[in-house]
């Protein structure tokens, strides 16, 4: 079957209304969880082959998140799908108003490589919960992970409901020529623009989960040790190949030295180093070389070891960095942490605002005024106060970017909403009919109308 035929088959299946039945969606979500659990070992092996990612990190940052998202949908799906009644204005009485969530239809979900399972499967879960049929195109870069997802999902789901299509630029370009009812994309800003343009040709709505440079701003009153510990975990998880990793640190100069030394201590404590078999590789040679190019020898505070053969870069902290340095010109997406300092919070905010709106922003402070100032003055997707990355785990916080970092949100209920159209209905009765709106339009009718409408 070519791509158009697969989409036609999904459209036809959607039009049977099978996916509108909540019990069908529940059954399919349970099936998804079962088949993933049954084949967990294959998933661990594939991702290890792609970038030496440990079983522990694969569970906590991939499979565990997927299971949690399925469970959350199973518990809430009936509530989320319910028709919602709202009040009705005087002009339409007797009558009632309500909103019905309806699935968009056949959707295309495209994933990024850095968390190959969850970035592909979590949006697919939301689409299934909302009642859509799904075509999933994982990233081709982690080829073992992409192959295992394709095999397991395609063996266990009927293609007219849920189908994985593997491929890179050429295959995606072909897919994008087809009209979908919704496109959900996770990836770079550059490719996000290609997706948006292709979707516009068909007036297809999009969710774009993109990237950017997410800052961590630290004032001098913090608990330095705990701040360093949290930042080291957030930055070097998946060796920095995380869209919401703190990209760079802006620290108040009074505590810069103390913070740097606490960061060094926590990197050493975590045993993140080249020889560690659980220290994730850089995904490919191209990214390895791109990252190497950011490291300026005279600015290395700690780390800086690169091993081309194993594609590993040790956690690298750079100090004395400025906004004009190479490492500050694009999203890093790897284990390099530039540390910049500031004296004045207004100029720090102004510097951050010279870059495009980040996906996340982290504020470490005990100063309520500064916290509120940053929250009020910097536009960003989402973030945390006195922590980093952990907001991603909060099921009631919609996750997404703003401006260059993305369009729309997902996770939990927000994911269901991303794949639903909210159909607004006014329902009238035949009991009575006021003559006010009908011609002939007289002065006394206008007087009454003004009283009614206000
Ligand atoms: P990418 O944009 O290169 O690739 C993402 C997807 O687009 C892949 O499926 C790929 O096959 C496809 N693609 C690549 N080039 C294409 C083209 N020319 N035309 C059509 N499709 C194309 O992104 P990536 O390298 O996989 O991921 C890294 C980026 O993703 C980073 O910027 C990161 O911040 C961002 N990201 C964002 C989130 C989020 O949730 N917001 C999560 C992870 C990664």
What CATH number corresponds to the domain at position 292?
Answer: 3.40.309.10
Q: Which residue's CA is the nearest one to ligand 1's atom 19?
A: 169
Domain count, the chain: 2
* Residues contacting ligand 1 via CB (< 6 Å): 110-114, 119, 137, 139-140, 168-169, 172-173, 186-188, 191, 194, 209-211, 243, 331, 333, 359, 401, 406
What is the Cα–Cα distance from 430 to 42, expressed in whole angstroms? Answer: 62
Site to probe by mutation for ligand 1, drawn from 188, 382, 391 as the one with most ligand atoms within 8 Å of Cβ, is: 188
Task: pLDDT tens for the chain, 454 residues: list them.
Answer: 799 999 999 999 999 999 999 999 999 999 999 999 999 999 999 999 998 999 999 999 999 999 999 999 999 999 999 999 999 998 899 999 999 999 999 999 999 999 999 999 999 999 999 999 999 999 999 999 999 999 999 999 999 999 999 999 999 999 999 999 999 999 999 999 999 999 999 999 999 999 999 999 999 999 999 999 999 999 999 999 999 999 999 999 999 999 999 999 999 999 887 888 778 999 999 999 999 999 999 999 999 999 999 999 999 999 999 999 999 999 999 999 999 999 999 999 999 999 999 999 999 999 999 999 999 999 999 999 999 999 999 999 999 999 999 999 999 999 999 999 999 999 999 999 988 889 999 999 999 888 877 6
In a domain, 428, yes or no: no
User: Are residues 56 and 190 both part of a single domain?
Assistant: yes
User: Are residues 71 and 28 both part of a single domain?
Assistant: yes
CA distances to 35, 65, 246, 401 from 283, in Å: 27, 21, 19, 24
Residue 320, phi then psi, degrees to nearest 5 = 70, 25
What is the Cα–Cα distance from 299 to 392, expressed in whole angstroms? Answer: 31
In a domain, 431, yes or no: no
Residues 6+ apart with CB under 8 A from 414: 398, 399, 400
Report CA(145)–ligand 1 centroid distance (Å).
15
User: Are residues 45 and 148 both part of a single domain?
Assistant: yes
Dihedral of the alpha carbons of 257, 259, 260, 261, in degrees to the nearest 10: 90
User: Are residues 203 and 311 both part of a single domain?
Assistant: no
User: Are residues 279 and 418 both part of a single domain?
Assistant: no
Query: 443: phi > 0 → left, psi -120 to 50 → alpha, else beta; which?
Result: alpha
Which of ligand 1's atoms lies nearest the C-alpha of 191? 2
In a domain, 300, yes or no: yes
In a domain, 41, yes or no: yes
CA distances to 269, 314, 408, 426 from 387, in Å: 19, 23, 23, 46
In a domain, 443, yes or no: no
In a domain, 449, yes or no: no
As given in the structure block, the two tokens for residue 21 are 């039945």
Under 8 Å between Cβ of 35 and 164: no
User: Are residues 290 and 388 both part of a single domain?
Assistant: yes
CA distances to 14, 360, 411 from 356, in Å: 39, 11, 24
Which of ligand 1's atoms lies nearest the C-alpha of 111? 9
Report CA(34)–ligand 1 centroid distance (Å).
28
Q: Angle, to 10 degrees, between the axis of helix 118-130 and the axis of helix 22-38? A: 160
User: Are residues 331 and 197 both part of a single domain?
Assistant: no
In a domain, 445, yes or no: no
CATH number of 111's domain = 3.40.605.10
User: Are residues 53 and 173 both part of a single domain?
Assistant: yes
Please classify residue 166 by burial: count the beta carbons closer than 10 Å to its beta carbon, then call 0-12 exposed, 13-18 middle and 19+ buried: middle
Provide the annotated active-site residues: 209, 243
Report CA(424)–ligand 1 centroid distance (Å).
35
Question: How far apart are the two ends of the chain, measured CA to CA in Å?
Answer: 59
Dihedral of the alpha carbons of 87, 89, 92, 98, in degrees to the nearest 10: -20
User: Are residues 281 and 161 both part of a single domain?
Assistant: no
CB-side neighbour CA atoms (13 Å) of 193: 4
What is the Cα–Cα distance from 302 to 315, expressed in whole angstroms? Answer: 8
User: Are residues 190 and 54 both part of a single domain?
Assistant: yes
Report CA(240)–ligand 1 centroid distance (Å).
16
User: Are residues 13 and 148 both part of a single domain?
Assistant: yes
User: Are residues 161 and 245 both part of a single domain?
Assistant: no
In a domain, 299, yes or no: yes
CB-side neighbour CA atoms (13 Å) of 240: 26
Query: By residue range, what is the domain housing residue 292?
Result: 215-394
């Amino acid at each position: 079957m070519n791509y158009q035929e697969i989409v036609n088959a999904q459209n036809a299946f959607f039009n049977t209304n099978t996916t509108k039945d909540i019990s069908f969606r529940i059954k399919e979500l349970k099936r998804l969880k079962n088949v993933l659990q049954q084949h967990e070992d294959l998933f661990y092996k594939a991702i290890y082959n792609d970038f030496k990612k440990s079983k522990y990190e694969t569970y906590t940052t991939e499979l565990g998140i997927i299971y949690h998202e399925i469970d959350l949908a199973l518990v809430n799906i009936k509530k989320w799908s319910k028709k919602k009644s709202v009040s009705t204005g005087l002009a339409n009485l007797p009558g009632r108003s309500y909103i019905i969530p309806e699935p968009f239809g056949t959707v295309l979900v495209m994933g990024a490589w850095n968390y190959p399972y969850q970035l592909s499967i979590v949006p697919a879960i939301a689409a299934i919960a909302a009642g859509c049929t799904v075509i999933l195109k994982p990233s081709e870069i982690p080829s073992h992970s992409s192959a295992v997802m394709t095999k397991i999902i395609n063996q266990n789901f009927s293609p007219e409901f849920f189908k994985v299509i593997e491929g890179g630029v050429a295959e995606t370009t072909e897919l994008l020529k087809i009209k979908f009812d919704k496109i959900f994309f996770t990836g770079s800003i550059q490719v996000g623009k290609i997706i948006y343009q292709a979707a516009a040709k068909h007036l297809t709505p999009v969710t774009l989960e993109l990237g950017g440079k997410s800052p961590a701003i630290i004032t001098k009153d913090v608990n330095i040790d705990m701040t360093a510990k949290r930042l080291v975990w957030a930055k070097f998880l998946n060796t920095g190949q995380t869209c919401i990793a703190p990209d760079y640190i802006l620290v108040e100069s009074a505590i810069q030295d103390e913070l740097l030394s606490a960061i060094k201590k926590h990197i050493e404590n975590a045993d993140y180093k080249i020889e560690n078999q659980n220290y994730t590789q850089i995904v490919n040679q191209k990214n390895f070389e791109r990252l190497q190019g950011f490291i300026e020898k005279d600015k290395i505070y700690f780390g800086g070891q690169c091993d081309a053969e194993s594609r590993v870069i040790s956690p690298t902290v750079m100090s004395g960095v400025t906004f004009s340095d190479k490492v500050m010109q694009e999203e890093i997406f790897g284990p390099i942490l530039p540390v910049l300092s500031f004296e004045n919070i207004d100029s720090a905010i102004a510097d951050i605002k010279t870059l495009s709106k980040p996906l996340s922003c982290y504020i470490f402070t005990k100063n309520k005024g500064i916290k509120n100032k940053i929250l009020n003055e910097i536009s960003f997707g989402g973030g945390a106060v006195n922590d980093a990355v952990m907001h991603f785990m909060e099921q009631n916080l919609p996750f997404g970017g703003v401006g260059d970092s993305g369009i729309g949100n997902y996770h939990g209920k927000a994911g269901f909403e991303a794949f639903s159209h909210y159909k607004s209905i006014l329902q009238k009765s035949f009991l009575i009919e006021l003559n006010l709106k009908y011609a002939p339009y007289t002065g006394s009718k206008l007087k009454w109308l003004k009283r009614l409408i206000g």
